[in-house]
């Protein structure tokens, strides 16, 4: 482990002014921590977590990297790095008090959740480990820009972490892709020996993460005493140069200390003995570095006192300013849940009444493929990746084979037309797909990614729920990741429990995410085009049972055909009962309605098309006409998507109802493989017919 500050002459090439400026950054970082601790104890702020003990390596990293040019995915202990990059003390204290003018999040996030568009510090979140794959996506953007522009990029992506977070699976997924693609990314592991109360040897085999990652090809690995500014500067300079020169990813394992508890919600004396804490205190960079400066003639005690006085004066003014700052107005809570500038429910996305049909009727698969082809021709920043979406990963066989193009052939031929830089396969890792897509989107790309089966989307749920959907809101509209996630959905294919899953309500329950589920080829084309052109993240549910049905075919509506989100389609008009449904149950509801017409029952069938937002106006207007309503959906009945529709109807249309709201849904079980089990589980045409009879008889 490199440690060089003991040398009397070694300065890592830094001048006296640079050394003193570095000390000032380190001291200011520690004093902000101390001031926040004081404010928390005075109940003037609501949370505090410190970067104490990490200041030396973080200041060194900030001296080496380029704010506003390089990209930064940080974690909550990175105060000194942010100060060195250009963030101010008052910026940090605005965050601590939750001020409206907090530049990190406008008071929406807890303190130490950094974010700055000017500095390229991507909005930091609380989940541990989600930053890695996003950072890889941002570094990947550099590589893909190079292919498009023909010039080598010089930016580097830095991703930081504590030692405990390296136990997360996404850490390992990210290293796999970073090394596989030879990306310009630097990992900085700030190892203070603990993940809250869990010591490093409990979470990491052998107690050293740098030893564990040595098998990754092309990964430049360095260990350093992260309490030593000079050694840290030298190691960070080498690591960043390695990545900037495009030799591959770099990995710096910095041994630091944690002189304060994990946070003010923690008491480390409950699990750390006094002698261990005293040993850490001997390594404290705020003790050792100023002593070194004096010992080697770079500063006098008076020089250090002047620096300390300047820090205190800055901190006093920053504290006064922060405590006087206004809090966010409660009315702003809805701002930037979705894009304030681009509204996919608006008229600019409604060309449904003017289709430019051509060719013969074809399937949903073909129209989805054509839509993506048209959009990729229109927008060179669209990227498509996922498992098996490419025609062939190996370039030497691409012209010799027909091409895969997805397990359902939805992306067939796109790689051959647009090249392997824009259409490519991912590892078999769903979080990898979505996390990288977020990082690419933050660099201006438009990722349209595929999760092969909805049943396997769950490893990506953290990235979708806590990262993708929150990015715009948590950053107060500073950052956004308008990713489109396509995934196959639903049953009726004899797919059993693991190829038949639904569960849209888990995603419609997520603010910031649009959820779409077309029932026919024409709607699929128009809605996918809207999804790609809008500025919000979209989950696009493609029901695999509907991919090649003959009853839902359509002609190609042209390259500008769009259907706005939140606009339902009245699939069948009626007067006696309203059926609200979507996806594969639309056809079953229609068939049953046609049968019931022979019994004198007139059913109006509404296809929602988009699940979030949903078209309340069309649904409520129909109910006011029919006075009876059935909500049909393929998910399990209890706590499913239809429950929210039913509740809204009860809230706003109760006076118009002549019967209770009914639901037609799947049983509260899993979907069986045997035909009789699947048929008993999923809503059938006969299920709807029985519901019609029951509700009109009420």
The residues annotated with a catalytic role in the active site are 499
Report the distance separating Cα 604 and Cα 624, nearest Å: 12
Radius of gyration of the chain (CA): 29
- Tokens 């029951």 correspond to 694
Contacts of 14 (CB under 8 A, 6+ apart): 22, 63, 230, 233
Q: What angle do CA 320, 290, 283 make, to 5 degrees?
A: 100
Alpha helix locations (H) across 248-300?
274-283, 285-295
Give the number of C-alpha atoms closer than 13 A to the C-alpha of residue 678, restricted to the C-beta side: 15
Cα dist from 447 to 20, 224, 307, 418, 533, whole Å = 45, 37, 48, 14, 11
Angular region, 96: left φ>0, alpha ψ -120 to 50, beta rest: alpha
Is there a contact between 237 and 18 (Cβ–Cβ < 8 Å)?
A: no
Buried-exposed string 343-375: b where 16+ CB fall within 10 A, e elsewhere:
bbbeeebbbbeebeeeeeebbbbbbbbbbbbbb
Angular region, 287: left φ>0, alpha ψ -120 to 50, beta rest: alpha
Q: What count of other Cβ atoms lies within 10 Å of the Cβ of residue 424?
A: 17
Is there a contact between 485 and 537 (Cβ–Cβ < 8 Å)?
A: yes
Number of H helices, E strands in the chain: 24, 21
Closest CA to 557 of 609, 606, 520: 520
Q: What count of other Cβ atoms lies within 10 Å of the Cβ of residue 8?
A: 8
Tokens of 674: 């045997």
Residue 248: phi and psi, rounded to 5, are 140, -175
Residue 569: phi and psi, rounded to 5, are -120, 130
Report the distance separating Cα 163 and Cα 255, nearest Å: 9
Buried-exposed string 207-222: b where 16+ CB fall within 10 A, e elsewhere:
ebbbeebeebeebbbb
Tokens of 662: 């009914």
């Amino acid at each position: 482990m490199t440690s060089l500050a003991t040398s009397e002459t070694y300065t890592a090439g830094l001048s006296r002014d640079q050394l003193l400026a570095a000390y000032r950054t380190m001291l200011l970082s520690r004093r902000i921590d101390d001031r926040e601790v004081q404010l928390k104890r005075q109940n003037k702020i609501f949370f505090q977590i410190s970067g104490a003990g990490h200041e030396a390596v973080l200041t060194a990293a900030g001296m080496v990297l380029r704010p506003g040019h390089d990209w930064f995915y940080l974690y909550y202990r990175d105060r000194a790095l942010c100060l060195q990059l250009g963030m101010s003390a008052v910026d940090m204290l605005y965050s601590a008090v939750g001020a409206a003018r907090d530049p990190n999040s406008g008071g929406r996030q807890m303190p130490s959740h950094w974010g700055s568009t000017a500095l390229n510090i991507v909005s930091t979140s609380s989940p541990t480990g989600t930053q890695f794959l996003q950072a890889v996506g941002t570094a990947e953007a550099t590589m893909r820009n190079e292919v498009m522009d023909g010039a080598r990029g010089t930016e580097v992506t830095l991703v930081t972490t504590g030692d405990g977070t390296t136990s997360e699976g996404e850490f390992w997924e990210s290293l796999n892709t970073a090394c596989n693609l030879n990306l310009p990314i630097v990992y900085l592991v700030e190892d203070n020996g603990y993940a809250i109360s869990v010591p490093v040897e409990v979470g990491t085999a052998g107690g050293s993460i740098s030893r564990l990652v040595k098998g990754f090809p092309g990964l430049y690995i360095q260990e350093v005493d992260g309490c030593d500014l000079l050694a840290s500067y030298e190691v960070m300079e080498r690591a960043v140069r390695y990545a900037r020169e495009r030799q591959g990813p770099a990995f710096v394992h910095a041994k630091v200390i944690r002189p304060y508890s994990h946070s003010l919600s923690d008491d480390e004396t409950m699990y750390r003995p006094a002698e261990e804490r005293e040993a850490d205190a001997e390594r404290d960079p705020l003790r050792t570095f100023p002593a070194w400066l004096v010992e080697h003639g770079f500063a006098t005690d008076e020089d250090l006192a002047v620096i300390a006085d300047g820090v205190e004066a800055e901190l006093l003014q920053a504290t006064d300013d922060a405590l006087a700052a206004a809090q966010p107005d409660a009315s702003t809570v809805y701002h930037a849940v979705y894009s304030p500038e681009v509204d996919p429910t608006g008229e600019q996305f409604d060309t449904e009444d003017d289709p430019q049909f051509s060719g013969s009727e074809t399937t949903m698969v073909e129209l989805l493929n054509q839509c993506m082809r048209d959009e990729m021709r229109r927008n060179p920043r669209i990227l498509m990746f996922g498992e098996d979406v490419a025609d062939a990963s190996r370039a030497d066989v691409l012209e010799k084979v027909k091409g895969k193009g997805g397990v359902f052939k939805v992306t067939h031929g796109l790689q051959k037309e647009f090249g392997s830089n824009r259409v490519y396969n991912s590892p078999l890792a769903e979080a990898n797909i979505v996390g990288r897509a977020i990082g690419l989107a933050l660099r201006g790309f438009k990722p349209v990614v595929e999760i092969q089966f909805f049943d396997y989307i769950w490893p990506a749920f953290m990235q979708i729920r806590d990262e993708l959907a929150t990015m715009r809101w948590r950053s107060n509209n500073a950052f956004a990741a308008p990713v489109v996630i396509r995934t196959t959905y639903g049953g009726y294919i004899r797919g059993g429990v693991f190829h038949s899953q639904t569960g849209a309500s888990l995603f419609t329950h997520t603010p910031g995410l649009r959820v779409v589920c077309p029932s026919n080829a024409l709607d699929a084309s128009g809605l996918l085009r809207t999804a790609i052109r809008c500025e919000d993240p979209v989950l696009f549910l493609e029901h695999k049972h509907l991919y090649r049905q003959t009853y839902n075919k359509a002609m190609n509506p042209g390259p500008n055909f769009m259907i706005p989100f939140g606009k339902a389609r009245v699939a069948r008009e009626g007067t006696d009962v309203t059926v609200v449904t979507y996806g594969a149950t639309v056809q079953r509801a229609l068939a049953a309605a046609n049968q019931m017409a022979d019994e004198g029952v007139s059913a109006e069938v509404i296809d929602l098309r988009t699940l979030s937002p949903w078209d309340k106006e069309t649904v409520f207007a129909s109910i006011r006409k029919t006075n009876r309503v059935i909500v049909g959906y393929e998910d399990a009945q209890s706590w499913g998507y239809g429950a929210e529709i039913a509740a809204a109807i009860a809230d706003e249309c109760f006076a118009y109802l002549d019967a209770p709201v009914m639901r037609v849904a799947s049983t509260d079980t899993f979907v069986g493989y045997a035909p009789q089990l699947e048929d008993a589980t999923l809503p059938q045409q006969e299920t709807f017919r029985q519901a019609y009879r029951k509700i009109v008889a009420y």
